[in-house]
């Protein structure tokens, strides 16, 4: 399989993290697991059937799916030529393109047409006509540029500042302190954050810390206890508990697990997971 990834234009770089593509010329069946990544995403499953286990059984994902905030891991099975295109947003930025509360999309994978309208069908038709990453990125940028409001709501700006603090300060787990720093009440911050991100600030902070551990676990040069301390956990047990809640496996199990699709997203050069762009997000 081949993985490609490109950054958005300057106009949309504060809203779109990256565009990506995975393609395999051969038909294969793949089993993998997706982890909560703190972001919304639109995925085009072309020539590929994707089934997701919701804990009660497998169901078919839409051909073009809008993936809301996931709070737990999901097992997936794919069948076909494995052609995927994706648009990865930042934790809060998809809310700039819709009037719907992001919190209503939590732990859901819905048909993107339901939220993005009939105009979005034109995007899909163009992608089928010319399935290249550059063409996909150009088409998606044009679509989202038309939907972007020139004036951002004050609540959006507040949440953006909160997200920046969560990325830049590893000790910001005290949400009362974060609210005070932003000049709002804890309750107001919680409400507006859930509306724009679909998570509480505490949940996103835990995901950032959890995903930062991937780079050290994948390297294999440090003990799990060392990784725990490096990522801000109290001890090995604290790290293992939080990791299992979000990954569905222990850190040591993760190190010995093959993830055919996730391996691309977790690679050091990729921007699709929080662990790989957390250090640069605050420069935005």
d(CA 246, CA 147): 33
pLDDT of residue 172: 63
Lowest-confidence region among 29-33, 128-132, 134-138 = 128-132
Is residue 173 helix, strand or coil? coil
- Whether 28 shows a pLDDT value over 90: the answer reads no
d(CA 278, CA 164): 9
Contact indicator for 202, 176 with CB cutoff of 8 Å = no
Is residue 112 helix, strand or coil? coil
Residues 6+ apart with CB under 8 A from 46: 63, 83, 84, 85, 127, 128, 131
Percent of the chain past pLDDT 70, that is, above it, reads 93
253-256: Cβ within 8 A, 24+ apart: 254/217, 255/217, 255/218, 255/220
**Strands annotated E in the chain:** 2-6, 16-23, 28-34, 41-53, 58-60, 64-67, 74-89, 109-111
Q: What average pLDDT score do residues 128-146 get? A: 89
pLDDT of residue 266: 84
pLDDT of residue 276: 57
pLDDT of residue 154: 86
- Whether 274 shows a pLDDT value over 60: the answer reads yes
- Whether 277 shows a pLDDT value over 60: the answer reads no
pLDDT in tens, 35-46: 999 999 999 998
pLDDT of residue 215: 85
Strands 64-67 and 41-53: antiparallel
Answer left, alpha or beta for residue 15, where phi above 0 means left and psi between -120 and 50 means alpha: alpha
pLDDT of residue 170: 62
pLDDT in tens, 249-266: 999 999 999 898 888 888
pLDDT of residue 90: 94
Contact indicator for 195, 101 with CB cutoff of 8 Å = yes
Integer-rounded Cα radius of gyration of the chain: 18
pLDDT of residue 144: 94
- Tokens describing residue 92: 């809060």
**Is 0.85 surpassed by the pTM of this model?**
yes
Contact indicator for 131, 46 with CB cutoff of 8 Å = yes
62 DSSP assignment = P
Domains and CATH numbers, the chain: 2-147 (2.60.120), 161-281 (1.10.10.60)
More confident site: 173 or 215: 215
pLDDT in tens, 84-135: 999 999 999 999 999 889 999 999 999 998 888 888 888 778 777 777 899 9
Q: What average pLDDT score do residues 232-248 get? A: 94
Average per-residue pLDDT for the chain? 88
pLDDT band at 198 (very low <50, low <70, confident <90, very high): very high
- Whether 151 shows a pLDDT value over 70: the answer reads no
pLDDT of residue 173: 62
d(CA 2, CA 16): 22
Contact indicator for 56, 124 with CB cutoff of 8 Å = no
């Amino acid at each position: 399989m081949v993985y490609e990834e490109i950054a958005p234009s300057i106009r949309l770089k504060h809203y779109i993290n990256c565009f990506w593509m995975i393609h395999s010329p051969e038909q294969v069946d793949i089993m993998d697991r997706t982890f909560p990544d703190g972001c919304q995403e639109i995925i085009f499953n072309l020539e590929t059937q994707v089934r997701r286990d919701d804990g009660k059984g497998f169901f078919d994902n839409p051909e073009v799916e809008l993936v809301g905030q996931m709070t737990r891991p999901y097992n997936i099975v794919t069948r076909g030529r494995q052609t995927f295109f994706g648009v990865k947003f930042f934790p809060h930025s998809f809310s700039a393109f819709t009037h719907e509360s992001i919190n209503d999309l939590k732990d859901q994978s819905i048909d993107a047409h339901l939220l993005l309208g009939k105009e979005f069908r034109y995007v899909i038709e163009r992608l089928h006509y010319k399935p290249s990453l550059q063409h996909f990125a150009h088409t998606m940028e044009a679509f989202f540029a038309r939907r972007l409001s020139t004036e951002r709501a004050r609540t959006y700006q507040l949440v953006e500042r909160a997200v920046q603090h969560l990325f830049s300060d590893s000790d910001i787990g005290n949400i009362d302190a974060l609210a005070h720093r932003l000049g709002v009440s804890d309750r107001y911050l919680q409400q507006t954050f859930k509306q724009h991100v679909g998570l509480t600030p505490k949940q996103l902070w835990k995901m950032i810390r959890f995903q930062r551990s991937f780079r050290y676990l994948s390297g294999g040069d440090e003990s799990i206890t060392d990784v725990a301390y490096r990522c801000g956990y109290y001890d090995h047990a604290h790290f293992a508990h939080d990791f299992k809640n979000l990954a569905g496996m222990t850190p040591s199990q993760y190190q010995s697990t093959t993830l055919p699709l996730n391996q691309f997203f977790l690679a050091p050069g990729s921007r699709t997971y929080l662990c790989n762009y957390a250090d640069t997000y605050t420069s935005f």
